[in-house]
Structure 1
Amino acid sequence: MSSLAAPALRPAFSPSGYLFGATGAILFASKGIIIKIAYGIGLDPETLLALRMVFALPFYLVIGAIAVFRMRANGEAMPSRGVLLRSALVGALGYWLASYSDFLGLQYISASFARLILFTYPLFVVLLGALLFRQPIRARALLAFAVAYCGLAVIFLQNFAATGTDTLRGAGFVAMAALSFALYQLLAGSLLRSIGSALFTCIAMTSASIVSLAQFALMRPLEGLVVSGDVLTLALMIAIGATVLPTFFMNAALKRIPPAANAMIGTVSPVATMGLAFLFLGEKVTMIELAGSVLVMLGIGGFSIADARRR
């Protein structure tokens, strides 16, 4: 009996798990870089988001189809219309509104600053959880909030002195993205437990894709989706390289390493964004911005790791 149970135990150290986690974090970090490059050749947020959804959706539909097949094979009941509708609405919140707000913000602020703002979404989860669901707020969360936002304030003030209202507008949009994604995280939990991550992701992505394409049809001519080879390459990069692949890498990491280790690896993302932004966009980081970034990563990284260890 003990020999049969042994393989189910999680290894104390899994090099592949850490490699998968770091790869996923770096690929997620590349999203802002690709978006910035796309803006540089004249693409607008609505077109880029629509193209991203068009190319990413087929992968998630296949995953959803496999999930439905397995449920039927196991004799499990299909989700009710109410659950399907809630999953669609929550998916639109997390995969359309949060993404679109992020895309809008990247028109005005650097990829590195935007990534740091998004990195603070766990604190919005804590605050919204307290406001909407009466979840307790621990002192550690308040300390993390103070440290992280001191760091963001330092970066914001320097950028505001240089670009004025563009910094305010961009930071506001990306903060809205972080807020939307945090609310998505809170609302998605019960749905994930009810129908499973694969089917929920399929429904959520399908809903977000429909909203994104409807938005595009209202704001742009449909022929705008017929793009050049360069734009097509960027759209494929953001859809597959910065959306689909990192999802699989992060899930693979979660199966191999503890949540605390995965949270620690997640702090790689802002650092990777800075490095990629320097290499591909020529974005330079001042000592003030570097100091602010360290505060953000210390606050959020420390809180995320400690929170993961409690689970």
Structure 2
Amino acid sequence: MFKNNNTCLAVFTGIIGVVFFSAKAVMVKLAYQYDVSPVNLLMFRMLFALPFYIVILFITRKKSEEHGLGVKDFIWLLFFGFIGYYLASYFDFLGLQYIKASIERVILFIYPTIVVILSAVFLKRKVGPVQILAIAITYVGVLVAFWDEFRIEGSEFLTGAGLIFLSALTYASYLTGSDFLIPKFGVLRFTSYAMIIACISVVTHCSLSEEASLSGYHANVYWLGLAMAFLSTVIPSFMVSYSIKEIGASNFSVLGSLGPVSTIILASIFLDEKFTILQMGGTIIVIFGVVVISLQKRRKHT
């Protein structure tokens, strides 16, 4: 019973984390209305988030002594922190200049298949038939939800799509690496380390950029940066790490199918993006796919 309850909590936590993360795209599009560059906006997000992770790392320093960790573990930590929250975020922010928030989530959604492939190749994880079925169901839902949007491709679509694809690839690599590193470091310390590395990378990038600036923007840019840091970075990063630890990267990747759904809803509310009948039908199919994988996980622990 305990394991079942623990799995349910991990699934629920993962879903909430995905929804919070998905709100980031909407905040980015809102901030772009105030003529802020992707580099500066990403810098605001990371600078506001950095203090939270430093405090958490300091508080947990005695709870995790990190015995048995080698130099290679810290090298992998540095690598995955760099690509997972710096490169993935940077490519995402760049891509959102060219495409809608809802389209961004559709393209970013391909990361579950990348996670499954990377986990099978590098971690020797077996891909079960239920996982394949659940992923197929969620992809059908996404295609149905965005069929109307895919028929209309602007001149800038390919540029934006390519950048978002790079974001999906780097984020999937981070999730795969997290799967074997989190048990070694612990959820809190691993996430804090990874985010601190990403924050340092962003600040370094900005310090070398001529367009980097911390002042002169509309007040809403700073408020949105703070909201992205806390609501769409700090809180969901720990939720996602906990969920990955409990149910695995491949299973968590299916929970990520809720990202496009929540973005559709948020974008329709805050960005006035059109929400069609096809999108609603796709939403129902995606939710069904998530339920299938969640119930299967529970049966395995029964």
TM over 0.5: yes
Q: Which structure 1 residue ranges, 5 or more long, are not aligned?
A: 1-7
Residue 3 of structure 1: aligned partner: none
Residue 201 of structure 2: aligned partner: 211
- Is 2:98 the partner of 1:108? yes
Q: What does 1:1-311 correspond to in 2, within 5 Å? A: 9=2, 24-71=17-64, 77=67, 79-154=69-144, 158-222=148-212, 224-228=213-217, 229-247=219-237, 269-299=259-289, 302-303=292-293, 306-307=296-297, 310=300
Q: Deviations over 1:151-172 (max 9, x none)?
A: 4445666334323343333333
Shift in CA distance, 167/295, structure 1 to aligned 2, threshold 3 Å: farther
Looking at structure 2, the residues matched to 34 and 307 of structure 1 have their Cα atoms a distance apart, in angstroms, of 33
Q: Which structure 2 residue ranges, 5 or more long, are not aligned?
A: none
Looking at structure 1, the residues matched to 10 and 103 of structure 2 have their Cα atoms a distance apart, in angstroms, of 28
Looking at structure 2, the residues matched to 295 and 306 of structure 1 have their Cα atoms a distance apart, in angstroms, of 17
TM-superposed CA distance for 1:115, in Å, is: 2.6
TM-superposed CA distance for 1:237, in Å, is: 0.9
3-state secondary structure, aligned to 1:225: coil
3-state secondary structure, aligned to 1:131: helix
3-state secondary structure, aligned to 1:213: helix
Shift in CA distance, 294/107, structure 1 to aligned 2, threshold 3 Å: farther
TM-superposed CA distance for 1:100, in Å, is: 1.7
TM-superposed CA distance for 1:201, in Å, is: 1.6
Structure 2 length as normaliser, TM-score? Answer: 0.80
Q: Deviations over 1:257-285 (max 9, x none)?
A: x969x999866544332222112110112
3-state secondary structure, aligned to 2:98: coil
Looking at structure 1, the residues matched to 221 and 46 of structure 2 have their Cα atoms a distance apart, in angstroms, of 14
TM-superposed CA distance for 1:98, in Å, is: 1.6
8 Å contact kept, 1:92–1:211: yes
TM-superposed CA distance for 1:25, in Å, is: 4.6
TM-superposed CA distance for 1:31, in Å, is: 1.0
Aligned length: 298
8 Å contact kept, 1:22–1:266: yes
The residue type paired with residue 28 of structure 2 is I
- More helix by percentage: 1
Looking at structure 2, the residues matched to 24 and 30 of structure 1 have their Cα atoms a distance apart, in angstroms, of 10
Moved more, 264-273 or 39-48: 264-273
TM-superposed CA distance for 1:39, in Å, is: 1.2
Shift in CA distance, 297/91, structure 1 to aligned 2, threshold 3 Å: same
The residue type paired with residue 57 of structure 1 is L
8 Å contact kept, 1:126–1:141: no
Looking at structure 1, the residues matched to 173 and 275 of structure 2 have their Cα atoms a distance apart, in angstroms, of 31
Shift in CA distance, 221/94, structure 1 to aligned 2, threshold 3 Å: same
Instruction: State, as a whole percentage, how many aligned pairs show the same letter.
Output: 34
TM-superposed CA distance for 1:235, in Å, is: 0.7
Greater Rg over alpha carbons, structure: 1
